[in-house]
Amino acid sequence: MSRFGNSVVLLLVAVLALAQSSSELMTPDVVRIGSHLACLCGACNNTVANCPMLECHYARPAKEKIYRMVAEGRTDEEIIQSFVDEHGLQALAVPPKEGFNLLGWVMPFAAIAFGLLVIWWFVRRYQGVRVAASGADDEVFERYRDRIEEDLSRLDS
Amino acid sequence: MENLGSLAIILAFCLSVYAIVASVTGKIKRNPFLVVSGERAVYAIWFLLTFASALLIYALLTSDFRLAYVAGHSNRSMPLLYKFAAWWGGQEGSLLLWAWILSTYSAIVVYTNRRRFRSMMPYVTATLMVTQCFFLILIGFIVSPFEVLAVGKEVVGVADGNGLNPLLQHWAMAIHPPTLYLGYVGFAVPYAFAMASLITRQPGDAWIHTTRRWTLITWGFQSAGILLGAGWAYSVLGWGGYWGWDPVENASLLPWITATAFLHSVMMQEKKGMMKVWNMVLVSATFILCIFGTFLTRSGVVSSVHAFAQSPIGTWFVGFLALLIGATAYLILDRLDYLKSEARLESVVSRESAFLFNNLILLASCFAVLWGTLFPVISEAFTGEKISVDAPFFNRVNVPIGLFLLFLTGIGPLIAWRRSSLESLKRAFLWPAVGGVATAVVLVAAGVRHFYAVMSLALCAFVAWTIFQEFYKGSRAIRSRTGKNWLAAAVELTHRNTRRYGGYVVHMGVVLMFIGFTGAAFNKDKTVEVHVGDHFAIGRYELRVADINSGENPNYAWSSAEVEVRQNGKLIDRLYPETRFYKSSRQGASEVAIRRRLHEDLYLNFAGLSEDGDNKAVIQAYVFPLVSWIWIGFWVLMAGTLICLIPSKTRFQFARTEIVGMVKEHEPVRQ
């Protein structure tokens, strides 16, 4: 086969591989349920609903399965559970808010709470211990205070 | 040739060990000649690694497929630019680039400080060379870029290489990795100065003043690297996203966040002598996270699209990270006495506490991203079951944190140092707050019901107003004194205090980027299969596939759709989305067509022809409102960073706490 012929075959293979015929799969039901499910293709961090790869080897059959189960009259919970039964908890797009995995959700906010505690400690520490100037008379102290106030007001203006 | 390359790397490794030993011994034994010879070893390492890199580039450009690296990441038909970019297209080459950039930075540091900081410099050199030594072990002994294919076996040779991954054959991707590396590696310098300052028990802030520019420049490179990656993902991957919360994307974000926190909290140390321990922690965390990010990309610990082929270097990285964390923690804890705060916090309503909150929120965001990235591994270790932590998790956790950070961006710069009175707060925030609330009201009245979108745009208006107000007030004062026009007065104002006003420009860039991020709440997408001549609509656009063409060149075969774009029946544009098939790697890739406008992008991906033999074109169409503002914001952010690097016209003497008497501990103060 000629070089051009080879290329045409390659192009056809590529085009066939990239093509899809069921864009109608993306019904509101599939989008809603698919947004709770992780795309487990290993190449993206998207959900089944928004995985952009038309021929994704995971998201495409998953969308078909959701479409089929919705047509059978199954509820959202049943459909999601069937994915969990098949693939385990990793089928969910986010960790379930129970058991150990609750920690996944709590920790970022616990970190903020911990940080606030640290700030509270910091503020107390650095407000609580005041420098008592002894040995410097009030006049000297006042002079420095005025100078600092003046510098700062110039700085902030 | 390959022998020379390997020899250069091994010699560089030996010299890096020598530089460490000579610098430290020279310092301890007070032998300046030894210290200088250690510094000269740094220059020699740069020459050797430049030579090794030049050899690899020559092999790539001349398609020397005897080398496994060249055969694996290049081919004859690739354009010259991408042959060059293959230097960092694979594991071994990118590690060589890492080592080369580090050697360049080290040589610059040693040269520019050859007469300064003589007590600290030996340890700066030693710290840099420890990192250099680690990377040279990797490319010298574990994953050599000069490995030769089938030596001693009866293999004739490789006719052509595999070529660079087609997705990487894009100009933004050609410069994204080195830009990011310039940022990652650059943080080795502030870290080295920080460690040297701790080792030599420096009482002052010399390391901070010296590394201020380094920190800013490397932060700029990190920002540019991250945004180039986002821009590449947007215009190449064909799904319209610019951020996917992939573990490796997250890994690049982590040191950027801590570096941002450092750039802010360092001002507390410069102006008030506070937060010294914290700054040490932040600069160390940033560098350690840079190494951690490199480890994450190359170890296969988490699955990622960015991951390089798995190799045994993961264990080495764990060892190096343990060494870094252990040594840093020991030094900071051992030297706490030298890091005592010189001032106290006077009021919760002050610039100081705004910085504290800024740091808290930045670190919380950093932790949330790190936690989400590692949680699948942690959860599996504890429960034995795999879980997924995908984009929805990161969005849910980080959107509120990001909005609070945006709020602080507006608040922080306007609160006075030490304490702010109610009156001054009112003066500073009344009109910006009115602007923010008015924006929210207008948006809700216009029918926008997305809570976060309304919040985000209202906060953007608030922050933009505070920044505008600052420029307006300052420029007005200069105008009244000098009679200059507004623009000249604003330039003069900025030039007088480049860090302050450059910082505002950076904040403005962040505001513009948030406007772009907010647009994602209103994205539209549609996938259609249409015959040539058929119409379909998305948003306000009517689209018609006018023609489909195909062809080929030595590198790839292509097929392109000509799509007419109409609005209200009037032809406004023609777009040509294309699909390609790269011959040597046998992989497909999209060349999307984007109609970029300030208010929204129309984004078309031609996915090929339908498989039912009906010759329908499969088109994915997207409308992305406001997305261009992300890229505009990026340029503004870069401009602001550059302004910060220009020396100020007026040298400020900051009021620092002066000791006016002895401290009597535990004695209450009379108010």
User: Tell me, what CATH number does A42's domain have?
Assistant: 1.10.8
8 Å CB contact of A15 and B341: no
Mark which of A94, A122, A140 sits at the end of a domain: A94
Task: Please report the pLDDT score of residue B382 as a whole number.
Answer: 87
Task: Please report the pLDDT score of residue A18 as a whole number.
Answer: 41
CA distance A27 to chain B (A): 11
Pinpoint the alpha helices (H) of chain A: 3-18, 28-34, 59-71, 76-87, 102-128, 138-156
Considering the domain architecture, whether residues A107 and A49 belong to the same structural domain is answered as no
Contacts of A10 in chain B (CB under 8 A): 557, 581, 583, 586
CA distance A145 to chain B (A): 10
8 Å CB contact of B391 and A144: no
Mark which of A94, A118, A139 sits at the end of a domain: A94
Gap between the Cα atoms of B612 and B548, Å rounded: 17
Task: Please report the pLDDT score of residue B283 as a whole number.
Answer: 92
B586 touches chain A (CB under 8 A): yes
8 Å CB contact of B654 and A155: yes
Mark which of A94, A110, A134 sits at the end of a domain: A94
pLDDT in tens, A83-134: 999 988 888 988 888 888 888 888 888 888 888 888 888 777 766 545 544 5
Contacts of B582 in chain A (CB under 8 A): none
pLDDT in tens, B210-251: 788 888 999 999 999 999 889 888 887 777 778 888 888 888
Interface of B with A in 521-540 (CB under 8 A): 527-529
Gap between the Cα atoms of B306 and B49, Å rounded: 26
Considering the domain architecture, whether residues A51 and A107 belong to the same structural domain is answered as no
Task: Please report the pLDDT score of residue B302 as a whole number.
Answer: 63
Residue of A95, A123, A144 with shortest CB distance to B379: A95
Contact B165, B89 (CB under 8 A): yes
Contacts of A84 in chain B (CB under 8 A): none
Number of domains present in the structure of chain A: 2
CA distance A111 to chain B (A): 6
Tell me, what's the ipTM? 0.71
Considering the domain architecture, whether residues A13 and A81 belong to the same structural domain is answered as yes
Q: From B527, which residue of chain A is nearest by alpha-carbon distance?
A: A23
Number of H helices, E strands in chain B: 19, 11
Residue of A47, A89, A135 with shortest CB distance to B662: A135
pLDDT in tens, A47-85: 888 776 767 788 888 988 998 898 888 999 999 999 999
Residue of A38, A115, A133 with shortest CB distance to B363: A115
Considering the domain architecture, whether residues A104 and A77 belong to the same structural domain is answered as no
- Sheet hosting strand B524-530, strand order edge to edge: B524-530, B617-625, B600-609, B593-596
Residue of B529, B557, B658 with shortest CB distance to A10: B557
Residue ranges covered by each domain of chain B: 1-149+160-169, 395-517+635-645, 522-625
Provide the domain limits for residue A133. Answer: 100-156
Considering the domain architecture, whether residues A77 and A17 belong to the same structural domain is answered as yes
Contact B610, A54 (CB under 8 A): no
Task: Please report the pLDDT score of residue B219 as a whole number.
Answer: 93
Gap between the Cα atoms of B650 and B474, Å rounded: 14
Q: From A23, which residue of chain B is nearest by alpha-carbon distance?
A: B527
B479 touches chain A (CB under 8 A): no
Gap between the Cα atoms of B545 and B561, Å rounded: 7
Gap between the Cα atoms of B178 and B85, Å rounded: 9
Q: What Cα–Cα distance (Å) separates residue A58 from each residue in A53, A65, B415?
A: 10, 11, 52
Considering the domain architecture, whether residues A89 and A128 belong to the same structural domain is answered as no
Considering the domain architecture, whether residues A21 and A62 belong to the same structural domain is answered as yes
Residue of A100, A108, A111 with shortest CB distance to B379: A100
Task: Please report the pLDDT score of residue B650 as a whole number.
Answer: 67
8 Å CB contact of A136 and B660: yes
* pLDDT at A15 exceeding the cut of 80: no
Please identify every stretch of chain B with a pLDDT value under 70, giving residue numbers as ranges: 150-161, 163, 203-204, 299-311, 339, 341-348, 416, 418-420, 584-585, 611-613, 650-671
Closest CA to A137 of B660, B663, B664, B659: B660
CA dihedral (B469, B627, B409, B266) in degrees, to 10, reads -120
Contacts of B654 in chain A (CB under 8 A): 151, 155
Best of A45, A94, A114 to disrupt the B interface (most B CBs within 10 Å) is A45
Considering the domain architecture, whether residues A85 and A37 belong to the same structural domain is answered as yes
Best of A16, A18, A84, A100 to disrupt the B interface (most B CBs within 10 Å) is A18
* pLDDT at A141 exceeding the cut of 80: no
Gap between the Cα atoms of B345 and B350, Å rounded: 8
B21 touches chain A (CB under 8 A): no
Residue of B345, B401, B579 with shortest CB distance to A127: B345
Half-sphere exposure of B129 (CA within 13 A, CB side): 31
Contacts of B588 in chain A (CB under 8 A): 14, 17-18
Q: From A55, which residue of chain B is nearest by alpha-carbon distance?
A: B607
Considering the domain architecture, whether residues A61 and A104 belong to the same structural domain is answered as no
Residue of B379, B390, B528 with shortest CB distance to A23: B528
8 Å CB contact of B550 and A11: yes
Residue of A19, A38, A104 with shortest CB distance to B607: A19
Contact A22, B607 (CB under 8 A): no
Gap between the Cα atoms of B346 and B536, Å rounded: 64
Provide the residue count of chain B.
671
The residues pairing with B490 across neighbouring beta strands, listed in sequence order, are none
Considering the domain architecture, whether residues A145 and A80 belong to the same structural domain is answered as no
Contacts of A18 in chain B (CB under 8 A): 579, 588, 607-608, 618
Task: Please report the pLDDT score of residue B19 as a whole number.
Answer: 94
Residue of A95, A133, A152 with shortest CB distance to B655: A152
Considering the domain architecture, whether residues A47 and A115 belong to the same structural domain is answered as no
Contact B501, B471 (CB under 8 A): yes
Considering the domain architecture, whether residues A27 and A75 belong to the same structural domain is answered as yes
Interface of B with A in 413-432 (CB under 8 A): 416-418
Gap between the Cα atoms of B508 and B506, Å rounded: 5
Provide the residue count of chain A.
157
Contacts of A118 in chain B (CB under 8 A): 360
Gap between the Cα atoms of B552 and B662, Å rounded: 82
